């Protein structure tokens, strides 16, 4: 299987390289000969997709079977790893994630080329060449630098296992979502390069790739939210966003992609901002590769980067090529890229979109600076220190608020121009909603923090604007058709999906921004050292440490039952005003290590461990509770048991029993525990806001009802009307 995998990847690389050459030959030859070369290049894309699919399936089979002959399986899985996590384990490894990258890229490339068909015949060959070039780069890494099909000379008796931090449901789909976003953004990137190379710089390439850009934005956004949720519920520090290098790596293309999705509308409608749009998507493409580079190179320390690698140099070469090539292409085509029109009025939708673009690009520059500042610091001081959260809040906070304001103005303005009188008529309603929201916010205590009050005011403005737009659109439809409200609403939204999908995204982001501001400003956080029976207070709750938990979980494999993890925890009663509300059970889970030098019983506790947070989410506030047993007391106990076991002739024979007995001992005679308690308001609304934004994205991307079917229906209805001698009713 290893030879097969390596052979198929090498074949895929050869085909990808051939495809690049064939596609460029097709672009340069033109005519029927050129089309033949282009068709051959296109088939290369399909073949790479097929080979990458088979290769990925082979790797999956190796993980599912825990085939420890494979180095990647031995390093990232084990016989005690549950099946679902074994399926997801390939992308926890560098090799597997690179294979996932090239697999997804080849699938999306095949899809876009199949759907594009014969359109954009001058652009497509260049786009093909770019997509195959990217695939060839990753296939080269997989064949020459870090093969997922490398085998071990000596097969270990057990694998290292999947990092316990990754054994979390959303982590199974978080990387594929991020990588889908990255690879989908490669589509508009490649078509932009193709449009520039072919000198076909109108809006055609934008129309052909708009859905892919939107899909990339949506999937990247889902990936970011899943990552934030994982960080909040699993990492044990109580936050959902830590401005970590890897988090930022995914956020930057998302933010710049947001700018692109807005500014392309200006090019579509007005023929403006061609240079800007081309530069934006080329920048997004570069940031997607930069994101992969940050995760995979290990240049920046991160809680999310699971191991560093030697792939930094190849990635730097690719990045340099992409940046240099992008600048050269835009400079070469600067005459063609000149805008057909200028902005007619500052009171127009394009003016607000442009302002929003400037803010979004500013946001990306701030994040870029903040992400790479530790590297600059390291060059100067020899020490890599990430920037404080306060720094991020100081720069990102105001930009986010300005963006929220523009999100409200954008939908209210018309394309080209709006008169002052019309603008005022549009603004009155949303302003009233904004003031109402502020009044409610102040009544609930938002006045204590200026940034929260401003977020509530601006968020209310956005929600008011979106609500007004929807209400007016439905009213127009009802006036014209007499349809009942639900029917008119459904049809109005269904037939203007792009517009109302975008508005729903705005509403979701507004909710999210209010929730982020409130949950950050009013977070109540305590760290408490406690023994069984102790009581302490936090955020209006009384918590009582009632008893200790000491247990274990086993997993069966071919050789019998094995300890999967030892669990130490605490049972905590939650009270409010003397009334018991519920019981929470935060735990700390210890996964056995294969490193026997740690000690016969210590290896069950000193390998990888993970915090299992106890979370009580609510519409108004979340109660978040984590615990950490006293490390010194536990280490002392482990040392004592290790010493005793080492005196046995076969110290490891009874080590599993001893580990279980320690868990029992801990339950009966627990050492002190450090609790971390966080009570923060409106966190649930972050996820609700994100969900709304995701639904909006989905609505905008969803294809319109089949046009051909509607045309046929229209023809038939018209014929019926003609035959009956009267006009058709309704629409």
Partner 1 sequence: MDAVAALIVLAALAIALFVLGQPLWPGREQAAAGRHDLRRADLDAAKIAKYREIRDAELDHATGKLSDADWQAIDRRLRADAVEILHELDGLGTAPEAPEDPPPAAAGDGHDPAAATTGEGGPPDAAPAGRL
**What part of residues 196-235 is at the interface with partner 1 (CB under 8 A)?**
203-204, 207-208
729 counts as binding partner 1 under rule CB under 8 A: yes
Written as one string, the DSSP assignment of 215-252 is HHHHHHHHHHHHHHHHHHHHSSS--S----HHHHHHHH
Among residues 384, 481, 554, 684, the one that binds partner 1 under rule CB under 8 A: 481
* 690 three-class SS: helix
Indicate the residue among 36 and 581 with the shorter CB distance to partner 1: 36
Binding to partner 1 (CB under 8 A): which residues in 686-705? Answer: 704-705
**Which of these ranges, 165-173, 395-403, 406-414, 572-580, lies near partner 1 under the rule CB under 8 A?**
406-414
Tokens coding 518: 């409130």
**Total Cβ atoms within 10 A of residue 579:** 8
Choice from 69, 156, 269, 393 touching partner 1 (CB under 8 A): 269
**Exactly one of 93, 146, 426, 628 binds partner 1 (CB under 8 A); which one?**
426
413 binds partner 1 (CB under 8 A): yes
- Could you tell me if 171 and 86 are in contact, meaning their C-beta atoms sit under 8 angstroms apart? no
Contacts of 650 (CB under 8 A, 6+ apart): none
At residue 156, the 3 state secondary structure works out as coil
What is the rounded CA–CA span in Å between residue 385 and residue 391?
13
Nearer to partner 1, 103 or 687 (CB): 103
Q: Which two tokens stand for residue 326?
A: 């992008």
Q: How far is the CB of 494 from partner 1 (least distance, A)?
A: 9
Among 267, 492, 538, 680, binds partner 1 (CB under 8 A): 492
Q: Which residues contact 599 (CB under 8 A, 6 or more apart)?
A: 606, 638, 639, 642, 645, 646
> Measured from the CB of residue 714, what is the shortest distance to partner 1 in angstroms?
5
Under rule CB under 8 A, residue 601 binds partner 1: no
Is residue 418 a contact point for partner 1 (CB under 8 A)? yes
Q: How many CA atoms lie within 13 A of 446 on its CB side?
A: 24
- Residue that the structure tokens 């699938």 belong to: 107
Q: Specify the pairing of strand 524-530 against strand 609-612.
A: unpaired
Considering the complex, state which of residue 499 and residue 547 has its C-beta at the smaller distance from partner 1.
Answer: 499
HSE toward the beta carbon, residue 616, CA cutoff 13 A: 18
Task: Point out which span in 87-95, 520-528, 640-648, 712-720 binds partner 1 (CB under 8 A).
Answer: 712-720
CA–CA separation, 590 and 637 (whole Å): 15
Give exposure, 247-273, as e/b (b: 16+ Cβ within 10 Å): bbbbbbbbbbbbbbbbbbbbbbebebb
Residue 425 contacts partner 1 per CB under 8 A:
yes
The smaller minimum CB distance to partner 1, of residues 18 and 575, is found at: 18
Contact string 647-686 vs partner 1 (x = CB under 8 A): ----------------------------------------
Provide DSSP, 637-677. Answer: HHHHHHHHHHTSSSTTTTHHHHHHHHHHHHHHSPPPEEEEE
Min CB(70)–partner 1 separation in Å: 14
Per CB under 8 A, the list member of 13, 16, 22, 627 interacting with partner 1 is: 22
Give yes or no for residue 4 binding partner 1 (CB under 8 A): yes
Residue number, 469 or 642, with CB nearest to partner 1: 469
Q: How far is the CB of 477 from partner 1 (least distance, A)?
A: 4
Q: CB of residue 349 vs partner 1: minimum separation in angstroms?
A: 9
Question: What is the Cα 225 distance to its own chain's centre?
Answer: 6
**Contact status: 13 vs partner 1 (CB under 8 A):** no
Residues contacting partner 1: total by CB under 8 A: 75
One character per residue 98-137, x = contact with partner 1 (rule: CB under 8 A): -------------------xxxxx----------------
Residue pair 452/446 in contact (Cβ under 8 Å)? The answer is yes
**By CB under 8 A, which span of 44-52, 92-100, 211-219, 661-669 interacts with partner 1?**
44-52
Q: Is 670 left (phi over 0), alpha (psi -120 to 50) or beta?
A: beta
Among 44, 52, 216, 518, binds partner 1 (CB under 8 A): 44
- Enter the DSSP assignment of 487: H
Q: Does 39 bind partner 1 (CB under 8 A)?
A: yes
Token pair, residue 208, equals: 């052909």
SS3 310: coil
Q: Tell me if 526 contacts partner 1 by CB under 8 A.
A: no
């Amino acid at each position: 299987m290893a030879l097969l995998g390596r052979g198929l990847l090498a074949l895929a690389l050869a085909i990808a390289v051939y495809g690049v050459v064939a596609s460029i030959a097709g672009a340069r030859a033109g005519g029927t000969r050129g089309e033949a070369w282009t068709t051959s290049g296109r088939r290369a894309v399909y073949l790479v997709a097929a080979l990458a699919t088979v290769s990925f399936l082979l790797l999956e089979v190796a993980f599912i079977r825990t085939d420890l002959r494979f180095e990647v399986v031995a390093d990232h899985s084990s016989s005690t790893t549950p099946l679902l996590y074994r399926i997801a384990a390939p992308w926890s490894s560098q090799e597997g994630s690179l294979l996932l990258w090239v697999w997804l890229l080849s699938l999306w490339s095949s899809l876009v080329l199949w759907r594009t068909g014969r359109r954009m015949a001058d652009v497509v060959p260049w786009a093909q060449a770019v997509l195959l070039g990217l695939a060839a780069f990753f296939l080269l890494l997989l064949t020459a630098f870090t093969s997922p099909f490398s085998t071990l000379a000596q097969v270990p008796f057990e694998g290292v296992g999947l990092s316990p931090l990754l054994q979390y449901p959303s982590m199974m789909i978080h990387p594929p979502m991020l990588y889908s976003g990255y690879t989908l953004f490669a589509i508009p990137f490649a078509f932009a390069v193709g449009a520039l190379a072919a000198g076909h710089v109108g809006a055609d390439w934008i129309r052909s790739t708009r859905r892919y850009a939107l899909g990339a934005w949506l999937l990247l956004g889902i990936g970011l939210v899943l990552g934030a949720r994982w960080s909040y519920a699993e990492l044990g520090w109580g936050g959902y966003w830590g401005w970590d290098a890897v988090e930022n790596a995914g956020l930057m293309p998302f933010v710049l992609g947001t700018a692109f999705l807005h500014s392309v509308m200006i090019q579509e409608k007005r023929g403006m901002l061609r240079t800007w749009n081309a530069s934006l998507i080329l920048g997004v493409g570069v940031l997607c590769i930069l994101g992969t580079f940050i995760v995979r190179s290990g240049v920046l320390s991160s809680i999310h980067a699971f191991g560093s690698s030697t792939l930094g140099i190849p990635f730097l070469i690719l990045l340099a090529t992409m940046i240099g090539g992008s600048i050269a292409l835009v400079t070469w085509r600067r005459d063609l890229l000149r805008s057909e029109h200028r902005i007619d009025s500052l009171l127009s939708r394009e003016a607000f979109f442009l302002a929003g673009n400037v803010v979004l690009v500013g946001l990306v520059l701030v994040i870029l600076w903040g992400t790479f500042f530790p590297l600059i610091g390291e060059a100067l001081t020899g020490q890599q220190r990430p920037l404080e959260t306060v720094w991020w809040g100081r720069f990102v906070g105001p930009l986010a608020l300005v963006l929220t304001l523009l999100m409200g103005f954008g939908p209210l303005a018309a394309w080209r121009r709006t008169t002052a009188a019309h603008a005022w008529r549009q603004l009155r309603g949303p302003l009233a909603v904004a003031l109402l929201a502020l009044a409610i916010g102040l009544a609930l205590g938002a006045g204590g923090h200026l940034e929260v009050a401003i977020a509530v005011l601006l968020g209310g403005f956005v929600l008011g604007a979106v609500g007004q737009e929807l209400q007016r659109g439905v009213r127009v439809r009802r006036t014209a058709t007499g349809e009942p409200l639900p029917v008119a609403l459904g049809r109005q939204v269904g037939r203007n999906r792009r517009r109302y999908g975008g508005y729903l995204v705005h509403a979701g982001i507004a909710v999210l921004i209010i929730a982020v501001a409130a949950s950050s400003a009013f977070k109540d956080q305590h760290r408490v050292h406690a023994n069984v029976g102790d009581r302490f207070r936090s955020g209006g709750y009384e918590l009582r440490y009632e008893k200790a938990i000491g247990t274990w979980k086993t997993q069966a494999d071919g050789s019998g039952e094995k300890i999967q993890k030892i669990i130490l925890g605490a049972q905590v009663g939650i009270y409010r005003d003397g009334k018991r509300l519920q019981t929470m059970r935060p735990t700390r889970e210890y996964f056995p290590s294969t490193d026997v030098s740690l000690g016969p019983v210590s290896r069950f506790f000193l390998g990888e461990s993970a915090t299992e947070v106890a979370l009580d989410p609510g519409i108004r506030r979340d109660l978040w509770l984590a615990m950490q047993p006293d490390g010194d007391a536990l280490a002392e106990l482990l040392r004592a048991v290790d010493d005793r076991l080492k005196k046995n002739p076969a110290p490891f024979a009874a080590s599993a029993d001893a580990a279980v007995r320690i868990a029992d001992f801990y339950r009966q005679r627990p050492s002190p525990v450090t609790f971390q308690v966080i009570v923060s308001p409106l966190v649930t609304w972050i996820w609700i806001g994100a969900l709304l934004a995701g639904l909006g994205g989905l609505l905008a991307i969803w294809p319109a009802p089949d046009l051909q079917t509607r045309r046929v229906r229209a023809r038939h209805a018209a014929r019926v009307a003609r035959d009956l001698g009267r006009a058709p009713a309704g629409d």
